[in-house]
Structure 1
Amino acid sequence: MEYTKGSNRTDVRIEAAALWESNVGAPVRSSRATTAKRHKKRATATPKVVPIQPTSKSNDPVSEVINNWKPGRRLPEIALVWEEIAPIVRAHVSGTGVAGVDPARKYLVALARHTATRKNAGHRIDDAEELLGDDALISTFGSKAPTKQMKSSRALELGQIRRLRARLLPEVYEKSPDLVVGRKGFVEAYSPSEIAQLMAYARQRSNPVALHLHAALLLSLGAGLTGFELSLARGSDLVATPWGLFIDTQGLSFGGNRGARQVPILEQYEDELSELAKEIGDDLFLGVDGSGKPQEPSSMQAKRRNLPRFKANRARSNWTRSLLENGATFICLREAGVAVANEGYLSKLSKDLTVDFQEYITTVRGGNTTFDQSKHPHLFQYAKGQ
């Protein structure tokens, strides 16, 4: 076989095939097949099929959240029964008329956990009044409930459920008494010397812990805040009135009168708290942890020997005693958030009684000095009728 200058690969292959057939006698691919193979195009890759995610028919973002929300891997106990409880949970959250995306998600998580717990325990979940009744909530969120949730998380979700049911079933729960899911024994107050030690350390502000401890002390001693309501308090929540300061708190919603309320600040702490609020603005008084979540009061511990440990409940006992020393009435105590609910006939007799807001602020504030509102121009100013 000779190769000439003008020959190409196809000609060479054809000549080689002819030579093979003449010498061996075995069939080979035809010239036509060889040419076809040469011009064969590579197959294109099959496009990746992306599953279509369920979407809401409505353009309302709240409706989209309600209709599309599902428990993730962090909520496995809900995911196991989600297909069964989803219609009920979504219907109840939609029925509240919630206006925000974030509140809607909170309602969904809290109600889904509660509904899953009730279903797993063998209870009915198709009756809204039974599902959201006090007995049902106590079994899920109460102090003796078999759960691994932190108490602060249970308190937060219980508050979400109680707000949800008040909107969903207003004729039953809009003005229902506060739910008590557990009672603690007496918590001993700090002694004057212990308070002096803690305040002296906190006022130095030698480190971030001292700064946040200062805020925690002022809010717990001056307004009786504890737990998550203490963690969520912001500088912008402090309000100046002609008679004293008060703080707007979201409450704990974990029993007693610890729902959202306006708590007057004791006279001896109002100036320091006002200056601190001016400094931090709209930020959280206790700041955030490494993951960006609100700091818990239990983390406000001074790294110094022989210094008392900070416990918000002990400081709250000091605050409660101060209210009694200021001559606060039963109604003032109830409005401020002291646990007086379900305390026999006094609770029933005072159910519909209220106190004038000026008298409430003045009584709880206490002290011997007249409040000067002009010293606090950086705070939100109270307007009568708010």
Structure 2
Amino acid sequence: MLDLAAELDRWFRRGRPFAVATVAATSGSAPRQAGAALAVDADGTVAGSVSGGCVEGAVYELCRAALAGHGPPAAVEHFGRTDGAAAAGQDGDPFAVGLTCGGELDVLVQRIDPAERPETGAALAAAAAGEAAALARITAGPPALLGRALLVRPDGCHEGMLGDPVRDASAAAEAAALLAAGRTGTAVLGADGGRCGEPLTLLVESSVPPPRMLVFGAVDFAAALARAGAFLGYRVTVCDARAVFATPRRFPGAERVVVDWPHRYLDAEARAGRTDGRTAVCVLTHDAKFDVPLLARALRLPLGYVGAMGSRRTHLRRLEQLREAGLPEAALARLRSPIGLDLGARTPEETALSIAAEIVADRYGATGAPLSAARTPIHRPHPALAAAPDGP
């Protein structure tokens, strides 16, 4: 639901009820991940998506029914695989609603009344403002508890109630951990808030400020990459020590243009806590006096992506210089150089596409190979999600 925060915050402020359907759990090749949502207001206006089209009509009708007061205030609906031809051949309904991709979705459908959900309104307002916040909602457990919500701040403070102080404290701790990692996921608690009793499943949606892309080198490739980064949702900064090239007019796609030595700027940003495991660093300067000090620092930081432009010969020479600077092989293995995927790119725009594609593939641990030739799942979770099982 927090992925629709900008729109839903406006609806909430109007004080009118709306219904929201949120993907609570997935399996198989599901088109959207947990937290994706579709919302419907009293006028029938739709925002968002839960499946990319497969079950949108059915979910819309469920939201309309929830708004009209038909059924409980919150309920979980399951959508599985459907194949019209196969179903028809087995006396099934060839028009059955389901996912043709072979995945399965559990969707929490809930009526939201602003007068009764202040914690939800606060979570939407925080997410819409770009602030860090998590919203934990019960998606499995006793029917009377479905949809109950808790807003959790980065410092662990929380608003709302799940029905029991011990349960609230346990849920807040689980949500704070997911928020610190910038993850949306599920957690399982016992009904008493511990690990015993009838289990409760929480969907924890994390909203964190947009990730940063730091582009070093005020060149024409940087201008195209700044636009691509902004399109992907990054807050883009272009940095170069040469004031004549590093001007806002040349980089309209960047949020900031900074005149500073690249390594000095990265040092300052890291010390100030403005880089993290989602930050992408792209080095486009082609100049060892800038590249080597910068990469020597970047490869020692817990960044999401570090790439550097240059020929293969330049790359090998740069590796030797970095080894001389004391970097171990494990750090050097993190360097994506020559930067980008092999698309045959030539123009700045094509090169920016190549770099952006590698950043996305790297984020999800994907190969970058053509899907037509691959045998891996099309939709996959972030590696951190796959490595951290839900619940106890």
TM more than 0.5: no
TM-score normalised over the length of structure 2: 0.24
Determine which structure has greater relative contact order: mean sequence separation of CA pairs < 8 Å that are 6+ residues apart, divided by chain length: 1
Larger radius of gyration: 1
Give the TM-score taking structure 1 as reference length.
Answer: 0.24
